[in-house]
Amino acid sequence: MTRFAAPIAEQIWDMKYRLKDGDGTVQDKSVEDSWRRVATALASVEKDAAHWEPKFYSALEDFKFLPAGRILAGAGTGRTVTLFNCFVMGTIPDSMGGIFDMLKEAALTMQQGGGIGYDFSTIRPKGADVKGVAADASGPLSFMDVWDAMCRTIMSAGSRRGAMMATMRCDHPDIEQFIEAKQDAARLRMFNLSVLVTDPFMEAVKADGSWDLKFDGKVYHTVQARDLWNKIMKGTYEYAEPGVIFIDRINKMNNLSYCEDIAATNPCGEQPLPPYGACLLGSINLARLVAEPFEKGASLDLDALDDLVRTAIRMMDNVVDASRFPLEAQAREAEAKRRIGLGVTGLADALLMVGEEYGTPQAAAMCEKWLHAIARASYMASAELAKEKGAFPLFDKGKYLASGSLAHMDQDVRDAIGEYGIRNALLTSIAPTGTISLYAGNVSSGIEPVFAYAYTRKVLQKDGSRTEEEVVDYAVKLYRDKFGADAELPGHFVNAQTLAPLAHVRMQAAAQKWVDSSISKTINCPEDISFDDFKEVYMEAYESGCKGCTTYRPNDVTGSVLSVSQTSEATPETDEGAEVVYLSDPLDRPQALEGNTYKLKWPDSEHAIYITINDILIGGHRRPFEVFINSKNMEHFAWTVALTRMISAVFRRGGDVSFVVEELKAVFDPRGGAWIKGKYIPSILAAIGGVIETHLIQTGFIAGEGLGLKTDPQAEVSQLGASGGKPKGKACSSCGGYEMRMVEGCMTCASCGFSKCG
């Protein structure tokens, strides 16, 4: 019997978490081997490893405790990778040398697979004086462009590019340019952007007062606070960015407010961190802890939850000692505070199982009850660990117990902390769980509502063909296994497509009360929501105690929300009239093709490289069909032939093949790249990628440098929706599928699990 609840779960395990050698040889023969590998690695730091290894294995078994992907993939492998998910880098100095020192640190962190956050508020605004050089400053946005280019180049561990978060204070003189930066479709594509909103600013917004934009004590501009707020709101209403972080609340509620100041978060926002702050993540799968699901007496097993949380806290604390770190400063920060972030996934499924409708006051109360139980067990377990192993080095009993998030903690927990100290300064966080929720059988993600009860997924087979499979929500499958495949779902089964935005806010606020860090959550808004109602979502998030707010409103710019099917009826694999074509068999080569040949001269190379790209015409549109790469330099012969064959094979399969460009441009040569036409190119392969990209732009296949398809074939996708209409959505840059959706602040592919945020 397989342990996996759905085929997609086994596929995700095989792709993401199964240990394989560099040549593809499988080391983890089964998922039990993966659990054993992780349990053994995390028990190895214990004095009595033989006692703890089976307990750790039991927690992992049947997907009850889900360590974050970096732990599942990296623990016990012996590889030089970090097991931490989240990093905020050091404070950026307002000097050229300091800025580029920070850039180097970012590159080293991303190379090991860490997502990073930066506050760019510390860089002087554009036009400010630069002493000693008789020049004006270029401003923080210009340096963000440099970071963005670096991120495109670095390929992180596990073949994932890193993700980045950039924050800027709402009183920085360049804040308006920051808000509008990503409205240029070619700019800052590797960043998520969030504005650090202060309490005085929100009060000024409500009072319609003035607001000073200042740096280093100098006021550069004065604006109306409400006008600036509307500009932030308009940006996220139309472009889904920037997000909003209520930074004063974060610092006020921080357990460590006595020894750190926070000005940035990790890429998905659930971890506000100080300079060089690092945090690891894990999730309790609530969907596995419901007793008698869908019966009258259904309930979450709170005793089992308490026991599981205590084991999970111990495992995560051990990760601090077992992990490597890209930078020594990150290791010191992690060891000094031993910050961890235990959260949940499967919350919406668990609510369905106990008969509650997500988003209602009753469901919010249930959510708060469960999160309280997790927080209580987490803090008590960490206090007991402190008794056994010692408190975190910067623990100060009086100051710690006086911190914001401890004010409403149970008295017996506070007493235990007072007596023993606490092992981990912060303990709870709700992270994006898109991939691990699929690995756990497609449970609902984090504290999000069920996105869709079922959808059809196209799976690429080894022979190059694609088959269809239905991916069903875990709770829905359980319900139909229990009551019959044709059983009608009860009325309390709601999903993200039908929920009112304020119902999302209610659930986020309920969870936030017992989460000492923050929450990664997307509030889905209908396309036709009015601007005033949209602004009310953010105001309600602020007033109800949330630490941040991220929304997604589908429109022509952001793309449409994925339409989903509740049937798995097979449909043709060819769209009808769009320029993007998906076929099980390669496209046939016509007798004649249109094409262009480009000459590429690489510095210090004796012979030029000639690149010919031929296009096929489909539906009146040109799309790349084949590539030929030639050079008289015999040193290049083997790899140019291989590249020609591989790229051409990809092109002839159809679909959105623009990812080929990004993969080539990300290759860097350890011997160094070259400057071509005033731009640094990290390798010959990257230069070839640039030539192909130029051709695709000129022929209208992609919209511009660093972008995807010029025309999104939203109306011509080949799956049928439940109502017979055709779903809309953007193609995934990794697999080409049309299952992209906004999950916890990041566009994520339901087919392959790809997400910019990791």
Catalytic member of 251, 255, 266, 424? 266
Q: 629-687: per-residue pLDDT in tens?
A: 888 777 777 788 888 888 888 888 766 777 888 888 877 776 777 877 777 788 888 88
**444: number of Cβ within 10 Å:** 27
Q: Is residue 276 part of a domain?
A: no
- Evaluate whether residue 667 is within a structural domain: yes
At residue 658, the pLDDT reads 78
pLDDT at 165 over 90: yes
Return the pLDDT at 49: 96
Question: Strand runs (DSSP E) across 488-531, as ranges?
Answer: 523-524
pLDDT digits (tens, 9 = 90+) for 87-126: 999 999 999 899 999 999 988 888 776 679 999 999 999 9
> What is the predicted pLDDT for the residue at 736?
53
Q: Is 187 a member of any domain? A: yes
Q: Is the pLDDT of residue 741 over 80?
A: no
Query: Residue 120: its pLDDT value, please?
Result: 97
Domain end (from 193, 216, 233): 233
Query: Average model confidence (pLDDT) for the chain?
Result: 86
- Which one-letter amino acid corresponds to residue 257? S
Residue 603 lies in a domain: yes
The phi, psi pair for 676, rounded to 5°, reads: -130, 120
- Of 530, 539, 505, which is closest to residue 226 (Cα–Cα)? 539
Nearest by Cα to 546 from 364, 711, 749, 394: 364
Here the tokens at position 654 are: 């159809």
Helix (H) or strand (E) holding 309: helix 302-322
Domain end point (choices 188, 205, 233): 233
Residue 597 exposed, middle or buried by CB count within 10 Å (0-12, 13-18, 19+): exposed
Residue 619: phi and psi, rounded to 5, are: 60, 30
Q: What are phi and psi of 210, to 5 degrees?
A: -85, 165
Identified catalytic residue from 270, 356, 540, 739: 270
Q: Which of 698, 716, 736 is the last residue of a domain?
A: 698
Annotation says 318 is catalytic: no
Structure tokens given for 689: 């990628």
Q: How far is CA 624 from CA 177, 592, 594, 640, in A?
A: 36, 14, 10, 18
| Cβ contact 114:266 at 8 Å | no
Distance of alpha carbon 373 from alpha carbon 364, whole angstroms: 14
614 inside domain = yes
Distance between CA atoms of 732 and 742, rounded to whole angstroms? 12
The count of structural domains within the chain is 2
88, 90, 91, 96: CA torsion to nearest 10: -120
Annotation says 270 is catalytic:
yes
The one catalytic residue in 268, 367, 546, 549 is 268
182-187 average pLDDT score? 84
Domain housing 161: 86-233
The answer to whether 744 and 446 have CB atoms below 8 angstroms apart is yes
Q: What pLDDT sits at residue 683?
A: 84
Active site residue 524: no
Question: Which residue, 108, 243, 100, 139, is CA-closest to 182?
Answer: 243
First to last CA, the chain: 31
Number of other residues whose CB lies within 10 A of the CB of residue 93: 13
The pLDDT assigned to 680 comes to 78
pLDDT score, position 733? 54
The answer to whether position 742 is within a domain reads: no
Query: SS3 for 59?
Result: helix
Percent of the chain's residues with pLDDT above 90: 58
**Quick check: is 105 in a domain?**
yes
What CA–CA distance (Å, rounded) separates 436 from 446? 10
DSSP state of 452: -
Answer whether residue 686 is part of any domain.
yes
Dihedral of CA atoms 654, 666, 613, 675 in degrees, nearest 10, equals 160
